[in-house]
Structure 1
Amino acid sequence: MANIKRAAVIGAGVMGAAIAGHLANVGIPTLLLDIVPREETEEEKRKGLTLQDPQVRNRLAEAGKARLLKEKPSPVYHKEVLELITPGNLEDDLDKLSEVDWIIEAVVENLAIKQQLFENIEKVWKRGTIVSSNTSGISIHAMVEGRSEAFRRHFLGTHFFNPPRYMKLLEIIPTKDTDPAIVDQMKAFAENVLGKGVVMAKDTPNFIANRIGVYGTLVTLQAMFEQNLGPDEVDALTGPVMGRPKSATFRTLDLVGLDTFVHVAENVRSNVDDPEEKAAFEVPDVLKEMVSRNWLGEKSGQGFFKKVKTDKGKEILALDLATMEYRPRKKLKAASLETAKRAKTLPEKLRTLVYADDPAGKFAWHILKKVLLYTAARIPEIADDIVSVDKAMKWGFNWELGPFETWDAIGVERSVARMREEGEKIPPLVEELLASGYTSFYSREKGEPPRVFAIGGKYVGVEEHPKTIDLARLKEQNKVIRSNKGASLIDIGDDVALLEFHSPKNAIGADIIAMINAAVKEVSANYRGLVIGNQGTHFCVGANLMLILMEAQDHNWPELDLMVRQFQKAMGSLRYLDKPVVAAPFGMTLGGGVEVCLPCDRIQAAAETYMGLVEVGVGLIPGGGGNKEMLLRWMEGVDPKDRVALQPLVNHVFEVIGTAKVSTSAREARDYRFLRPEDGITINTDHLLYDAKQTVLAMDRAGYRPPQPKKIPVVGETGYNVLRLGAYTMLQSGYITEHDYKIASKLAYVLAGGNVPEGTLVTEEYLLDLEREAFLSLCGEPKSQQRMQYMLTKNKPLRN
């Protein structure tokens, strides 16, 4: 792995600053440089500043850094990481580039400017320092023409996708002169430190993802004009039903920016030789007209869609491309679309839609056919293998399946037969596949790693990272120890077991609780430790709210009480298991999902983990031990006799739970004490289960001993009144409703330990009883039931 301890980013625009932000996210001190402004702003003149003042000379880099705090979603894990970014300029600070290990160029997309910049960099360049360009399409070779051989050996392309924090793809583009060892080092560094999915691309126009993605968008635009559809109608077809993001085609274009899209498309058109391909990348006149009107999308307030205020609130209008006026959105009505939506798997959805004999099906078939044919025809021009292409589109454009995986899903033989009938030219790669007697690009034997069709007419193994644990494959290998509808216990090797949730949305119900209890017994008897994790969309969104609401509406209090008791007991079993337990949360980890993590010995969280005890949003408080666990975390290291210190800590817990704080990253989760300082954070989610397993093994080797129960000091009646007064002040100020106040009062009573003297030492069971009683009483409140019902139907909280 490359030994990169310090870095520099040149260019503090949107992309450059965001790259610097992500380097800071992973703990790398970064120098952020830009040009010296040519003149002062009016504000600088009023302050008496001149072009000689550092404040003016570093203005562009300072502005880029400051912007990182304002952008939503945030490019940084936590505001504190910005301390690692040092702004400067290319005149005063150029020599500081000799102090860094990696220099990333992210300036304007102009070849002459880049060439001049690299000439200047080489004057201060320290041999061994890696230099790369973040260009999205300019020739990597051309940038360093005239540079020394040593410089060229350390130079390559590193194309980040925006925003760098969230987009997994990093395209690495070596030149013919790049040292292969440096390519390997950067790949390992990007995967293990930056958390990226790396694809090796060739130095061709717009590399892999943008080449295919832009082509697909232009094909979709053309088909929209031909079939007289609107952008809203097309987006209904090109979103999740085809395995694409909810933003589909035109909402995505608005997010990217139409000017950016036009620039990328024209870059391909001007750099390819084939007349047919040049024509395919011709930007439609309507798009040019929108750019000339500054209808660029989200950043200008309007594009293919426009958000307006109406008497009923906010409404999103769609652009009528015939009149260039905005109109209310229309819902596309098509039998094939509705049938496809009801299909259980994506391959079924795709086959249902693209083989349908109605306008929606024909539209979907036409654009998919064009993209598949174009992509296959670009091999080996843009990449040496189809896996790189599939990964690029999944990681760079958030497709659920890559182009070749999609081709397998709809059936290669069936689709190619139809393409031939329609007079399409079949690319050599596809002809070679079928001539070899194969019918799919990927081949998998049960329990075995996937294999892929390669140039040369044979299947080869797909390269896998050594830190990858594939739960689906382990199941095929009969590594399941126990299983039910909601969860499975899986042997992940080295005498470590993994508890996987797989209920709908990973919501916690009776099946998961039963499996937790089974896991505790099994691990205690036969394993070195337990990991709690899964490979779903999110770790866990909480308890089964529908079940809770049904039991409450039926006044089935004994059953509901038993359910909560069992959940509390299962969490206690995890806390005091005689083997180490490590939770591996990622994505949405809410309510009961947090309560599963809190009693574990360690948490190994993905960097993108959004943790929060959000029960107040549905009219409840945590019922699975979350209140007790948060008290324990906030009181760690505090003298139980220090009553002065206790109240502020309880106040913090009251605020975190009472306002349903949700972390925007694992790093921020530490602020709320969902994570402790000793808990780990994994940047690359693909490595999360591996890292959690290694934590279990390390704890076992260190001679693990389980924690011992101890009594908890509470603030009692005095502290309860303090908490309730704070809530009452918010009520009187109009910040919360009467029902919010009722929920807050119940929460305050639990966190204070009830009506006992301040400083009383209570047991965990005592606090759990208070928690359960408060939870059940709120379940019986009509307004809480209204909140639960609203969340289930609208997927957002109700303030009643």
Structure 2
Amino acid sequence: MSRFQVRKAAVLGAGVMGAQIAAHFINVRVPVVLFDLPAKEGPKNAIVAKAVENLKKLKPAPLGLAEEAALIRQANYEQDLALLAECDLIIEAIAERMDWKQQLYAQIAPHVAPHAIVASNTSGLSITQLSQALPEQLRPRFCGIHFFNPPRYMQLVELIPAPQTAPEILDQLETFVTTGLGKGVVRAKDTPNFVANRVGVMNMLATMVEAERFKLSYDVVDDLTGKKLGRASSGTFRTADVVGLDTLAHVVRTMQEQLPDDPFKAHFATPPVLAALIGQGALGQKAGAGFYRKVGRDILRLDPQKRDYVPSGAKADEIIGRILKKPAPERLKLLRESSNPQAQFLWAILRDGFHYAAVHLADIAESAREVDLALRWGFGMTQGPFELWQSAGWTQVAQWVKDDIEAGKALSGAPLPAWVFEGPVAERGGVHTPEGSWSAAQGRFVPKRELPVYGRQLFPESVAGLGADALQAGTELFKNPELRVWTLDGEVLIASITSKLHLISPTVTEGLLKAVELAEAQYQGLVIWSPDEMFSAGANLEALMPVFMAKGPAGIAPEEQKLQQLMLRVRYAGVPVVAALRGIALGGGCELAVHCARRVAAMESYVGLVEVGVGLIPGAGGLTYIARRAAEKGAAAPNTDLLPFLKDGFTAAAMAAVGTSALESRKLGYLLDSDVIVPHKDELLYVALNEARALAASGYRPPLKRSFPVAGRSGIATIQAQLVGMRDGGFISAHDYRIASLIADVLCGGDVDAGTLVSEDYLMALERKHFCALLGHPKTQERIMGMLQTGKPVRN
């Protein structure tokens, strides 16, 4: 199969989804042209221009860097259709109207390049019917592509073939969407609402039905159906507000109109409360009101009886929280047998989900794997319905569901399919097995699709715990209670921090030092990587508490020095040390990353020095790094003041700024232009290992230790003059002023002349001195205890 390259893409339709899809192309560095109708008045591209400008304001941010909205090329259908000939991929994302989409296809068809793929971003329209508006020669290169909102953050993308779609086209598009856009692809059958919305929206409708039956308020339901249940933290009704109530209603209408024979059709009716909200223009978050409304800092919820908004914040009963922490078999049994209405409600919505997914598996998906991954990636579930069912005991849960159906408690009287109770699924205790997942349509277990791109995912997300466990894989060299050091290939060593939040304790420090020594002696490099959504949340202050209680701040100084020595050991290691970042890298985690030879970061990496939140300064070399980088930048412009080069680094550290994407982390200086940003989180280790090998193969040598100039006491005075104004104006507290002044002292080198040459050891000694002094300050101790007890920063 020839390689399909997307050198330029086009998105047709600058609405909410189209503009955000275009924004994500910019995030992953694919040039994109965004089209819409020509404006009737003023500049022809006014509609697109407004949409692009709005991208800068949206939350969560669709762009990694807001200013990169300018990189989206603006176009309209009247003047610019010739630009389509330059595009390798064209995604249509206009309103969900079959006639409008087909009219647009007729308009663009003459301008599409012979090799280009054309795809419709639709949440449920028939791909077969859409394809009929295209000329015969274009149909093999047309399919459906369904992004979930918001496109930057939601992992799921469904690909839906039309009857004439060429198989290699789907493979090419799946490859690009996976590695180029960083998404998880599920192939869906061309049935109404495809996989995720078909099952997920039915789950939402069932939740609304059962909530009314058990008389539960929206805030309680959202607490019950959020993180406690292993689903998205927004729960059900808040999720509906985020998605848009009009969008939800559209998906429901598609089910009403196109699934007349569905045995659950009685519940496809648009809930009256949803219809009423839409009629009032309360379309959810984008309209400022839906099931919830924000008034100032208060979040109000709708009371359907009063038809007005009332204070929200009610939570699930404490006993339910305890039940939901039990293992799956015990959990479901307790929920089903409890007399508590909230427990009965949870069993009911789980039962309804199992029932619907089983009845429709043969119609909507190739196998149970696609259903579970679609619900995970599209609806934020930690387990899909089949996974949970299987983990709770397949046969027992099936019997419970069957009993409820026969007792008239279920939403439909449709029986569970015969394969649930008989044959291979019953014999194997579920739908997921090492050889594959159950295909109800084919009557067998089918393996996951193998494409070359998936070779880049060394430990891909899998279903029902069937994937390889990275912390058990490879050849283990050694481990301690908080670190595992291992290798996959015998060439590059991998260090995986296993402590809670991957906090860096003395145990982790000791293990990483040993890993560097081992890598230098026997391997080409060392990669620091862990197989979850976190690099490191920083230093483990709690682990140092016994030392602090026994010896006070002075007792912490030796431990802090060991951590600083680790950073320098990593920086000057004889082999390349590569940090593979994913999720958060804060405080000490950020300091560890910046001292590595190279960083490979997933797009969603959140990096920053946040120590001021606990009343401290960065104490493991973070400020030394900022000062050194400023000096390196200043060296490119000799005979200039160093202070301008320190400004951004000082502000980031003093304000605890965190890059909210890998792109923004690069702008803050925590990632360099030479570092690699990887769109797909599961490709991170593969790329990091290759970076380590490539650096070694190119004759890697660590940087030479050298002294560098600092801004000195005059720089400190300039920064402090600005801080005084902020303190006296009430923008920062007296303790904030003290912390920021100490940050300035380190960055500028203390009481020395401007231009004085200093070493990293010298600046780290200043860091250590001020760090330990702050530990003894009552205001800092208040902040530390507040963070340990509540997880939230204290401002004092």
Residue identity matched to 2:659? S
Three-state SS of the structure 2 residue aligned to 1:489 is strand
Whether the 8 Å CA contact 1:241–1:350 is kept in 2: the answer is no
Q: Describe the superposition over 1:237-278 as per-residue Cα deviations: whole angstroms up to 9, x where unpaired.
A: 211122101111111112112221111111111101315332
Residue 608 of structure 1 aligns to a residue whose secondary structure is strand
Q: Please say which of residues 463-472 and 782-791 is displaced more in the overlay.
A: 463-472
Q: What residue identity is the alignment partner of 1:176? A: P
- The one-letter amino acid of 2:359's match is A
Distance 1:662 1:722 in 2: 25
Match of 1:796 among 785, 792, 796: 792
Contact 2:419 2:425 in 1 (8 A): no
Change (3 A) 1:520 1:137: same
The residue that corresponds to 1:219 in the other structure is 206
Residue in structure 1 matching 2:590, options 588, 591, 594: 594
8 Å contact kept, 2:144–2:161: yes
- CA distance in structure 1 between the aligned counterparts of 2:237 and 2:476, rounded to whole angstroms: 44
Kept in 2: contact 1:9–1:104 (CA 8 A): yes
Whole-angstrom distance in 2 between the partners of 1:718 and 1:146:
71
Moved more, 767-776 or 345-354: 345-354
Aligned to 2:428: 438
2:581 aligned counterpart, secondary structure: coil
Residue deviations 1:390-445 (CA, integer Å, cap 9, x gap)? 1111111111111211111221111012122223511244234566511122235x
Q: What letter is aligned with 1:327?
A: V
What is the distance in 1 between the residues matched to 2:631 and 2:186? Answer: 46
After TM superposition, give the deviation of residue 203 of structure 1 in Å.
Answer: 1.0
Aligned to 1:739: 735
Q: What is the TM-score of this pair, normalised by structure 1?
A: 0.93
Local SS of the residue matching 1:104: strand
Counterpart of 2:311 in structure 1 is: 328
Equivalent position amino acid for 1:321 in 2: P
Is 2:456 aligned against 1:470?
Answer: no
Confirm or deny that 1:260 pairs with 2:247: yes
How far apart are residue 371 of structure 1 and its match?
0.8
Q: Secondary structure, in 3 states, of the residue corresponding to 2:82?
A: helix
Give the direction of change, closer, same or farther, for the CA distance of 1:435–1:115 in structure 2 (3 Å limit): closer
Residue equivalent to 2:750: 754
What's 2:412 paired with?
none
Give the aligned partner of residue 378 of structure 1: 360
CA separation of 1:721 and 1:348: change in aligned 2, threshold 3 A: farther
Residue 395 in 1 paired to residue 397 in 2? Answer: no
User: Which residue of 618, 621, 624 maps to 1:625?
Assistant: 621
Structure 2 Cα separation of the partners of residues 435 and 660 of structure 1: 53
The correspondence for 1:183, drawn from 170, 181, 185, is 170
Q: What's the secondary structure of 1:302's corresponding residue?
A: coil
Considering only aligned residues, what root-mean-square deviation do their CA atoms show, in Å?
A: 2.2
Are the structure 2 counterparts of residues 58 and 675 from structure 1 closer, same or farther at C-alpha, using a change threshold of 3 Å?
A: same
Provide the secondary structure at the position in 2 that maps to 1:670.
helix
3-state DSSP of counterpart to 1:483: strand
Structure 1 residues 430 and 346, CA gap change in structure 2 (3 angstroms):
closer
Whole-Å separation in 2 of the counterparts to 1:474 and 1:167: 24
Q: Distance in 1 between matches of 2:168 and 2:175?
A: 11
Q: Deviations over 1:760-779 (max 9, x none)?
A: 21222111111000000011
Kept after mapping to 1: 8 A contact 2:332/2:347: no
Pair 1:705-2:701 in alignment: yes
Give 1:199's aligned residue.
186
Q: In structure 2, do the counterparts of structure 1 residues 615 and 433 end up closer, same or farther at CA, with 3 Å as the change threshold?
A: farther
For structure 2, which runs of at least 5 residues remain unmatched after alignment? 407-414, 461-467
Partner of 1:766 in structure 2?
762
1:26 aligned partner:
28
Corresponding position of 2:409: none
Q: Distance in 2 between matches of 1:435 and 1:179?
A: 32
Distance 2:632 2:555 in 1: 35
**Compared CA separation, residues 433 and 249, structure 1 to 2 (3 A):** farther
Answer yes or no: is the 8 Å Cα contact 1:580–1:696 preserved in 2: yes
> Could you tell me which residue of structure 2 aligns to residue 103 of structure 1?
90
Q: Please give the per-residue CA displacement for 1:160-213, whole angstroms capped at 9, x wherever unaligned.
A: 111111111111111110111111100001111111111111111011111111
Structure 1: distance between partners of 2:649 and 2:473: 44
- Work out which of the residue numbers 644, 663, 672 in structure 1 matches 2:640: 644
What is the CA-CA distance between 1:459 and the residue it aligns to?
Answer: 4.2
Residues 672-709 of structure 1 deviation map (CA, whole Å, 9 limit, x = unaligned): 21111111100111101111011001011111112221
For residue 43 of structure 1, what is the aligned residue in structure 2?
none
Say if 2:39 is the partner of 1:37.
yes
Equivalent residue, structure 1, for 2:387: 405
> CA separation in 2, counterparts of 1:559 and 1:470?
41
CA spacing shift, 1:727–1:363, aligned 2, 3 Å: same
Cα distance, 1:661–1:366 mapped onto 2, change above 3 Å: same
2:16 to 8, 14, 17: 14
Of stretches 130-139 and 435-444 in structure 1, the one that deviates more from structure 2 is: 435-444
Unaligned runs of 5+ in 1: 41-48, 50-54, 445-449
Partner Cα separation in structure 2 for residue 61 and residue 477 of structure 1: 49
Which moves more between the two structures, 744-753 or 326-335?
326-335
Distance 1:435 1:67, change over 3 A: closer
Residues 241, 346 of structure 1: 8 Å contact kept: no
- Counterpart of 2:437? 452
* Distance in 1 separating the partners of 2:238 and 2:636: 55
CA gap of 1:106–1:128, structure 2 versus 1, over 3 A, is same
Q: What secondary structure sits across from 1:380 in the alignment?
A: helix
Alignment of 1:259-298 (within 5 A): 259-274=246-261, 276-298=263-285
Q: 1:201-242 deviations in whole A, cap 9, x for unaligned?
A: 111101111111110011111111111111112122211122
Tell me the alpha carbon deviations over residues 635-690 of structure 1, each in whole angstroms, 9 at most, x when there is no partner. Answer: 22543994524222223322221121211211111222111111110011110111
- 1-side partners of 2:388 and 2:626: how far apart? 46
Counterpart position of 1:364: 346
Cross-structure match for 2:463: none
Give the conservation status (yes or no) of the 8 Å contact 1:379–1:429. no
How do residues 627-706 of structure 1 correspond to structure 2 at under 5 angstroms? 627-636=623-632, 638-639=634-635, 642=638, 644-706=640-702
Counterpart CA distance in 2 for 1:674 and 1:593 is 11
Where does residue 518 of structure 1 map in the other structure?
Answer: 514
2:377 and 2:425 map into 1 onto residues whose CA distance is 31
Residue 541 of structure 1 deviates from its aligned partner by 1.2
Provide the secondary structure at the position in 2 that maps to 1:381: helix
* The one of 94, 117, 124 aligned to 1:137: 124
**1-side partners of 2:197 and 2:139: how far apart?**
25
Q: In the alignment, residue 326 of structure 1 is paired with which amino acid?
A: Y
Shift of 1:590: 0.7
In 1, are the aligned partners of 2:223 and 2:316 still within 8 Å (CA)? no
Q: Partners in 1 of 2:102 and 2:445 — Cα distance?
A: 42
Secondary structure (helix, strand or coil) at the match of 1:236 reads helix
2:300 corresponds, among 317, 321, 336, to 317
Q: Aligned in 2, Cα 1:290/1:666: closer, same or farther, shift over 3 Å?
A: same
Identity %: 38
TM-aligned CA deviation for residue 546 of structure 1:
3.0
Q: Structure 2 CA distance, aligned partners of 1:643 and 1:350? A: 71
- 1:531 alignment counterpart: 527
Residue among 320, 324, 331 paired with 1:337:
320
Letter matched to residue 329 of structure 1: S
8 A contact 2:367–2:446 mirrored in 1: no
Partners of 1:601 and 1:231 lie apart in 2 by 50
Cα deviation, residue 351, structure 1: 5.8
**Residue by residue, what CA displacement relative to the aligned partner does 1:274-329 show, whole Å, maximum 9, x if unpaired?**
153322211122221122122322222222223334xxxx3323222223233333
8 Å contact kept, 1:191–1:198: yes
The CA distance in 2 between the partners of 1:347 and 1:315, in whole Å, is 39
Shift, 1:369, TM fit: 0.9
Q: CA deviation at 1:149?
A: 1.7
Instruction: Write the letter of the residue equivalent to 2:648.
Output: H
Whole-Å Cα distance in 1 between the matches of residues 712 and 275 of structure 2? Answer: 68
Cα distance, 1:794 vs. partner? 3.3
CA distance in 1, matches of 2:503, 2:491: 27
**Any conservation in 2 of the 1:377–1:429 contact (CA below 8 Å)?**
no
Partners of 1:730 and 1:736 within 8 A in 2: yes
CA change 1:434–1:329 in 2 (3 A) is: farther
Pair 1:481–1:348, CA change in 2 (3 A): farther
